[in-house]
Chains A and B, each alone.
Chain A
Amino acid sequence: MIQLEEVTKIFNPGRVNEVMALNNISLQIRQGEFVIIIGANGSGKTTLFNTIAGAAIPTKGKVWIASEEVTHLPEFKRSKWIARVFQNPFDGTAPNLTILDNFRLAALRTQSKQLKIGINAAFKRKVQDTIARLGMGLENKLNQPMGTLSGGQRQALTLLMSIMDSTKVLLLDEPTAALDPKSAEIILNTAQSLIQEYQLTAIFITHNLKDAQQYGNRLLQIHKGKLVRDLDANAKQKLLLQNMYEWFG
């Protein structure tokens, strides 16, 4: 589903503040895999994510999604495959727009946004049914501006927005980093059930090693821009939390 071939990303090349964020990374992620990425701060996790999402263009190497070379394709064009949940709960939704408006845009992720009014009774019912699975009572607040909701509620809705259109890849960029434990649990359980239900290919960046152990069927560790560990489902299952702590020295 996703393939990276010898990808290198250098920020500020040739300057005193030059940083090699990714160093010759090759990686293949198959359809339906739920990949967890761990690594210390500044290891290159988010740059790897941005390279896949199209927010960063590699200095060297190539990127493929669904057998199509997308190395230089901008982020907004890669959205036909990729849905993204950001680390900051406020980045994934438009605060001045209502919940319904936000979901309308999400439902058109892979389609053109035309000069026609697309919000009708059937669409409202679809959004209500989708949101009801959260059990937060937000299905009755569809006309409320997104900005009036809490970070946890907005992150949960961003997650649900990802399944409003035919998403193939779900990128979860530390989605629980800014949330309380209860909200974090709701987000991750919802993500897990959506990934299984819609057979999504998912990549989840986390600093929480318990989450890294509990979720996913493949584990990658990035260190100083290099892929230093790649564990399959079996190896990951046998992994102890203590082992993972030791990787960070």
Chain B
Amino acid sequence: MDFYLSALVLSLCLSAMAMGIFISMRIFNIPDITTDGSYTLGAAVTAVLLINHWPLFPAILISMMAGAAAGVCTAFIHTKLKIDALLAGILVMTGLYSINLLIMGRSNIPLINLSAVFSYIHLFNNATYNALLTGLLIIGFFALLLWFILLTDFGIAMRATGNSSSMTRSLGINNNRMKIIGLAMANALTALSGSLVAQYQNFTDINMGIGIVIVGLGSVLIADALRVWLNIVAIGWQIVLVIAGSFIFQMVLAVTLSLGVDPNVLKLVTALFVLLIVALPRVKNVLTHQNE
């Protein structure tokens, strides 16, 4: 049971990244690969600050700001230098690998016996329950904050930017500025995810972000499938579905592991699962047309 609860806590930590990918991919229609780098960046900054005895919450905040800065770099390359968003993300992600190594000073930093966000609540005897409650509170707070922002006039303008750039330009919205702010928000959330996962797993590793974008992407795709299935329009419920998507994704991986699948092939299972989510509606369409 504890194994699945741990997976649930991990899914909460990763749902911040899923919300970030929801912003870049669904709100702005930008495939942002910076994620792999900004996730590790969040973990690296948190680790270095914590081992240097910084207070926890400023450490998390600075980690998020570092992630936001990475997002701003990608957005600047894309909007000002007119370089394709995918390439801009790849460039920043590649650069971040070295920056993360420079920040960390080595490839792995253990965080055992250091103040972590998950050690603040002691309501239950079981540490996993306490971690679960902490995760729920943190993700609940950021989900509500994101929901509020997207409901405001500014948030409507953000949502419109990725939806119809010709319309937003004619309505006085600076699309480039919106993209810069949007990618900053997305990568701040991704860095938060990295920071939370590092604290939950008690270590930061330089390779922890490799391929992590696929986890966020998978969560958003699951959310998309649920949104279409449940015919959901309200932005608040869409955010809830993204968190649910992250949960479902982690549960699938947990079940896979519990079935005895070699952990070395977990990335392959992840990729295949995302492929399944993307391909299933298309296969269903093809089969439907063949039957007609």
Contact = CB atoms under 8 A, between A and B. Distances in A.
Contacts of A76: 168-175
A84 interface: yes
Given A86-B166, A91-B167, A94-B164, A101 B159 contact: yes
Interface string A71-114: 00011110110111010001111111110011011101111011
B62 interface: no
Nearest to A145: B233
A46 to B, nearest CB: 13
Interface stretch (B74-82, B145-153, B251-259): B145-153
Nearest to A148: B233
Interface of B: 148-149, 151-157, 159-160, 163-164, 166-175, 233
Contacts, number: 97
Nearest to B149: A115
Interface string A131-145: 000000000000101
Nearest to B158: A113
A53 B152 contact: no
Given A116-B153, A118-B153, A145-B233, A92 B159 contact: no
A97 B173 CA distance: 15
B159 A97 contact: yes
Contacts of B156: 97, 101, 104-105, 113
Nearest to A144: B233
A101 to B, nearest CB: 5
Contact of A96 (B153, B159, B173): B159
Nearest to A118: B153
B160 to A, nearest CB: 4
Contact of B152 (A82, A83, A106, A115): A115
Given A95-B163, A96-B163, A97-B156, A75 B170 contact: yes
Contacts of A97: 156, 159-160, 163
B164 A108 contact: no
A114 B154 contact: yes
Contacts of B160: 94, 97, 101-102, 105
B169 A75 contact: yes
A117 B152 contact: yes
B151 A105 contact: no
Interface in A112-159: 113-118, 143, 145
Given A76-B175, A105-B171, A94 B153 contact: no
B171 A109 contact: yes
Contacts of B153: 104-105, 108, 113-118
Nearest to B156: A101
A53 B163 contact: no
A118 B157 CA distance: 12
B98 to A, nearest CB: 36
A119 B233 CA distance: 17
Interface string A170-184: 000000000000000
